[in-house]
Amino acid sequence: MFVYPQTYRKLKRGPQVILPKDIGIIIAYSGADKNSVCVDAGTGSGWLAVGLARVCKEVYSYDIRSDFLAIAQKNKDMLGLDNLILKNGDVKKKIDEKEVDLVTLDMPESEKALKNVKKALKIGGRVVSYIPHTEQVKKYVQTLEKLKFSDTHVVEVMVREMMVRKEGTRPSTKGIWHTAYLVFAVKQ
Amino acid sequence: MFVYPQTYRKLKRGPQVILPKDIGIIIAYSGADKNSVCVDAGTGSGWLAVGLARVCKEVYSYDIRSDFLAIAQKNKDMLGLDNLILKNGDVKKKIDEKEVDLVTLDMPESEKALKNVKKALKIGGRVVSYIPHTEQVKKYVQTLEKLKFSDTHVVEVMVREMMVRKEGTRPSTKGIWHTAYLVFAVKQ
Amino acid sequence: MFVYPQTYRKLKRGPQVILPKDIGIIIAYSGADKNSVCVDAGTGSGWLAVGLARVCKEVYSYDIRSDFLAIAQKNKDMLGLDNLILKNGDVKKKIDEKEVDLVTLDMPESEKALKNVKKALKIGGRVVSYIPHTEQVKKYVQTLEKLKFSDTHVVEVMVREMMVRKEGTRPSTKGIWHTAYLVFAVKQ
Amino acid sequence: MFVYPQTYRKLKRGPQVILPKDIGIIIAYSGADKNSVCVDAGTGSGWLAVGLARVCKEVYSYDIRSDFLAIAQKNKDMLGLDNLILKNGDVKKKIDEKEVDLVTLDMPESEKALKNVKKALKIGGRVVSYIPHTEQVKKYVQTLEKLKFSDTHVVEVMVREMMVRKEGTRPSTKGIWHTAYLVFAVKQ
């Protein structure tokens, strides 16, 4: 089984990964399921791509860097995910797939991919972008509005650990406070 | 598509539901995927059961109250989830399934179900309990230890909304601070 | 005594107030004490002004609106704070005081007051601004840098309630997630 | 001036200290001010004691360990706080002061001090305890009830840093998630 944190410790890490906390919320809030066809970009180490491939029908994951795709290929192979297709390419220039259910974006200036995303999504399809800084969140949201996406929803996910020990029960002293904002929207 | 918050607004609610934020983390941290066979109890309104059924192979969801199962049945039907089997029964007394990948528990005194959960799980299988109060978290964790479950991990999930508006970008003033603690463990 | 939440419930509220959670962190992080002379603007309902006056030597609080000063006057009178001096004026145009220890700013475009703030502060004196939106935080921080303030430090304060009841101990379900960012800096 | 984090870096640390975030909320929520007479125990490194002495009239701080008092003495001297009186003693056995405004407790089994605390406080006076674990919070709250303290209020304080940098504005990746719960109550 693929479980946190055991399996994640075995996965290869190259570029900054998307953590399970964000993968979980992307799945639950986007409605990704066994029937979903997804486009993902950039692949990076492929953590989100494999997380989606484990619950979705097909995932097409793009990256402009072939060295990153090589890392993701190892994670794909380790988990035996034949429904994950890794592609060397730039979604800001072109997305081959049509009528997809979900597009996930983790890249600088992800708003520049939104025109192509809109063409790739079916009506009612959803796009999620993973954005660390507030300035890009704003630019991205403004582009969503210009392109008539609906139901824009921005969240940040915090998972706090509790320790249950002989001396008592308490939250962990330190932990992760921020990875990125998740911006959800729907194609009308 | 099943998306947050649109689809959730249409789902029936009877007893207190498990929110998408917790469903997402349960999926991501437990490693639930298309090959997973799950047992879920108590069904309640069935939000977690349908959330799991959408990404897993089979979900067997137990409740001792048939009025709750009737609500869950409506949600199952609305989403067309044939792989969700609703069962009237008490997992503290008996779990019919064997070699399952995941058991999810949302009930008072869930620690009393753990003996049966252990029998139902395959080795490496995972159990997650949704527990609102710290006292029960402690009792439950102590029972996990007695029964030799491993990798106990307790978290709480906070999802904070950001508002991007003409007057500026800022987190929402108010929001949900707590639903329940999630306790994960593995059968050895 | 002046205690939370009892006394706060009696204080008058006109414009949006600064909550005790932020007042406490402003005091603790700015080093305000019995020897401190403070300038505060805008007064608003005067909650921060009276909070400072209770622990500091003198507080000069400016507002451009006399109707707000009237509300603050009532709060000052109720608490008997002779060391709080309410002034009708605009700190963006002029601050009369010199060699002050602390300036607190709660107003739109607070960065436009920073030149006067710098003149009013003694070396080593501190300025704190209460800023709801990230865009203004950025503008304000950039102005601090231009004016050679040091030790810029931006925080947000979250106070979460725990409920200890017969049925168990748990955090409150809902609560306040955001009021404003607090930006601290030191005059060199 | 006494400012965060500069002054705090110079303060001596022996036993675990109470951080400025908690000191600030203790001051703001307890209504400590220039007229307040406080009792504090245990002194530890004296961070809370000096924090209170800077804004209050008099602070009597007790510790059973003279080595801790020696550390606190250095912090007192560094800040020149003549109104802080360090005392070697056990508040569970005896509190010399009467009609005090505020008592702060940071010690194991602080509920065992509450009988003496009640005698020391004036009517309307407030007691605050700093308690890391949920089990002790519960025991302590139950003792407050038995002794007829009113207005019990339990909180935890989280201060999250924001980074404003050339590449963008975002919360810090990691930070402190928990120090202790603060339990406030009033003597009737």
Set of chain C residues whose Cβ sits within 8 Å of the Cβ of A139: none
pTM: 0.96
The chains in contact with chain D, meaning 3 or more Cβ pairs closer than 8 Å, are A, B, C
Distance from CA of C138 to the nearest CA of A (A): 10
For D35-76, the pLDDT digits (tens) are 999 999 999 999 999 999 999 999 999 999 999 999 999 999
Which of the four pLDDT bands, split at 50, 70 and 90, describes residue C51? very high
Task: Name which of C133, C169, C177 is nearest B169 (Cβ-Cβ).
Answer: C133
Best mutation site among B178, B179, B182, B183 for testing chain C: the one with the most C CBs within 10 Å? B178
Higher pLDDT, B17 or C6: B17
Please give the average per-residue pLDDT across B143-160, as a whole number.
97
Nearest chain B alpha carbon to A186: B3
Phi and psi at residue C33, in whole multiples of 5°? -150, -170
- Indicate whether C70 pLDDT > 70: yes
Set of chain C residues whose Cβ sits within 8 Å of the Cβ of B135: 168-169
- How many contacts, defined by CB atoms under 8 Å, are there between B and C? 61
Q: What is the pLDDT of residue D73?
A: 96
Which of the four pLDDT bands, split at 50, 70 and 90, describes residue C12? confident
Distance from CA of B177 to the nearest CA of C (A): 5
- Note whether B28 contacts A21, CB cutoff 8 Å: yes
What is chain D's length? 188
The chains in contact with chain C, meaning 3 or more Cβ pairs closer than 8 Å, are A, B, D
Set of chain C residues whose Cβ sits within 8 Å of the Cβ of B175: 174-175, 177
Which ranges of chain A have pLDDT less than 50?
Answer: none
**Cis before D108? omega within 30:** no
Task: Name which of B135, B168, B178 is nearest C132 (Cβ-Cβ).
Answer: B168
For A127-149, the pLDDT digits (tens) are 999 999 999 999 999 999 999 99
Set of chain D residues whose Cβ sits within 8 Å of the Cβ of A170: 132-134, 178
Set of chain C residues whose Cβ sits within 8 Å of the Cβ of D169: 134, 137-138
Best mutation site among B134, B138, B141 for testing chain D: the one with the most D CBs within 10 Å? B134
- Note whether A126 contacts B1, CB cutoff 8 Å: yes
Q: CA A94 to CA A97: how far, in whole Å?
A: 9
- Indicate whether B176 pLDDT > 80: yes
Using a pLDDT cut of 90, give the percent of chain B over it.
91
Which of the four pLDDT bands, split at 50, 70 and 90, describes residue C2? low
Distance from CA of D50 to the nearest CA of A (A): 24
- Note whether B138 contacts D138, CB cutoff 8 Å: no
For B107-144, the pLDDT digits (tens) are 999 999 999 999 999 999 999 999 999 999 999 999 99
For D109-124, the pLDDT digits (tens) are 999 999 999 999 999 9
Q: Output the average pLDDT for chain C.
A: 95
- Indicate whether C5 pLDDT > 90: no
Give which of D140, D137, D103 is closest to D119, Cα–Cα: D103
For C162-187, the pLDDT digits (tens) are 999 999 999 999 999 999 999 999 99
DSSP string, chain A: ---TTHHHHHS---S-PPPHHHHHHHHHHHT--TT-EEEEE--TTSHHHHHHHHHSSEEEEEES-HHHHHHHHHHHHHHT-TTEEEEES-TTT-----SEEEEEE-STTGGGGHHHHHHHEEEEEEEEEEE-SHHHHHHHHHHHHHTT-EEEEEEEEEEEEEEEETTEEEE-SEEE--S-EEEEEE--
Nearest chain A alpha carbon to B138: A164
